[in-house]
Amino acid sequence: MRLLVTGGAGYIGGVVTALLLRSGHEVTVLDDLSTGHRDAVPGGARLVVADLADAADVLDPSVEAVLHFAGKSLVGESVDAPGAYWRTNVAGSLALLEAVRRHGVRRMVFSSSAAVYGEPVSPGPIAETDPAVPTNPYGASKLAVDHMLASWARAYGLGAVSLRYFNVAGAHLGLGERHDPETHLIPNLLRVAAGERDSARVYGTDYPTRDGTAVRDYLHVADLADAHLRALERVVPGTHRAVNLGTGGGHTVREVLDAVRRATGHPVPAVDSPRRPGDPAVLVAANDRARRDLGWTPTRTLDETVADAWAFARALPRP
Ligand SMILES: O=c1ccn([C@@H]2O[C@H](COP(=O)(O)OP(=O)(O)O[C@H]3O[C@H](CO)[C@@H](O)[C@H](O)[C@H]3O)[C@@H](O)[C@H]2O)c(=O)[nH]1
C-alpha cells in the first residue's frame, strides 16, 4: 500500500514505519522534526519536513491510508501549557482529516492513549466501554481526535481505528526512546544504569498495590507496531473503533526497577519520593478487543522489553 505516516521521525512512528517498509509498503513520512529526529526515519521512507497544517499538499489520491502519530505527548506539559496540545493534537489532526477527506483516503490508524480514560473506575483492567473522562489536556486532546474520527467515519465513510496505547517501552529494529526532558520510568532507570545519573526516583510508595508503588501495563514497542499493521489491514470503511493496546497485565515501579537491575547488572539506586501529581494507582488494559478484532497477541515479557531498551540506550552516543 502507499501510506502516509505522520510523526514518523518519532519513537513509535519510526518503529512502525520500519515495520511497514519491511512488509513491502511504500511510506512517506510527514514530520516537522520538532521532537522527532531525522535519523529516526528509517531508510527507504521518503521524509517530507512539514507541519500537519500542510498535509493537503503532501497527500495525494494514490495514498491508501494514513497512520497518524504526530502530536505532543507529555502529560505534565499539557497541564502547564495546554494551548500547544489543542493546537498541535486537535487543530493539527483536523487539518489532516480535512486533507484526508479532500483526497479520498479511505483508511486511518490513530495513536490514541490510555490517558483518555482518566482516573479508572476500578483497579481492574480498563475496557474501551469504560467511561472516558480525561484528567489532563493531553488525554482530552486524544479523546477529541477519537471523536473526530468517529464523525468522519459516519459522514464520509472513512475507516478509522484509534489505538489506545498503555505504557509503550523497549526498542525494535534499531529504534528506541529518546525524550528530552526524560519523564518516563524505564529510560530514567536506564540513565542511572548507564552512569548518567546517580539515582532514580520512585514516585509514590503508599499506593494501594502489592508493594505500594504504582502499577502500569508495559507493552513492547514491537508488539505495539505489529498491532498497527493488523489494524491497517482490518479497518472497515465507514466505521470507527477504539482499541486498547496493552499486555493485560501490570508491573509495579519496584518490579520494573528489579527488571532493570537484572538486565543491566547495575544496582540502580532509587530514592523513595512523593507521588507525582495526577498519577493513578493502577492502569492496566483489557485487551480482549485487540485480540478479537486484530487477531493480535502481545508476546514480549517485561524482561525482554527492558533488555531491548538497554541495548538501544547503550548504543547511543554519550551526551
Ligand atoms: O522517574 C520516574 C518516572 C516514572 N515513575 C513512575 O512510573 C510509572 C510510569 O511512569 P511513566 O513512564 O512516566 O508513564 P505514565 O505516567 O504511566 O504515562 C504513560 O502512560 C499514559 C497513559 O497510560 C500516557 O498518557 C503517557 O503518555 C505515557 O507516558 C508512574 O507510576 C510514575 O509515577 C517513577 O517512579 N519514576
What's the pTM?
Answer: 0.97
User: Cα(218) to centroid of ligand 1, in Å?
Assistant: 10
Residue where the block lists cell 516537522: 32
User: Cα(256) to centroid of ligand 1, in Å?
Assistant: 12
Pocket test for ligand 1, best of 11, 279, 282, 287 (most atoms within 8 A of CB): 279
Which of 120, 159, 162, 126 has its CA nearest to residue 141? 162
Q: Distance between CA atoms of 46 and 25, rounded to whole angstroms?
A: 12
Judge contact between 225 and 172, C-beta under 8 A.
yes
Which of 212, 291, 290 has its CA nearest to residue 253? 212
pLDDT digits 0-9 by tens, 94-135:
999 999 999 999 999 999 999 999 999 888 999 999 999 999
Residue 276 Cβ inside 6 Å of ligand 1? The answer reads: yes
pLDDT digits 0-9 by tens, 286-306:
999 999 999 999 999 999 999
3-state secondary structure of 41: coil
Q: Distance between CA atoms of 217 and 113, rounded to whole angstroms?
A: 12
pLDDT digits 0-9 by tens, 218-231:
999 999 999 999 99
Q: Which atom of ligand 1 is nearest to the CA of 169?
A: 12
Pocket test for ligand 1, best of 130, 185, 252 (most atoms within 8 A of CB): 185
**What DSSP character marks residue 196?**
S
pLDDT digits 0-9 by tens, 236-245:
999 999 999 9
Q: What are the beta bridge partners of residue 290?
A: none
Active site residues: 138
Using CA positions, which residue lies closest to atom 20 of ligand 1?
Answer: 167
Q: Distance between CA atoms of 243 and 201, rounded to whole angstroms?
A: 32
Q: Distance between CA atoms of 136 and 166, rounded to whole angstroms?
A: 16
Q: Which atom of ligand 1 is nearest to the CA of 214?
A: 31
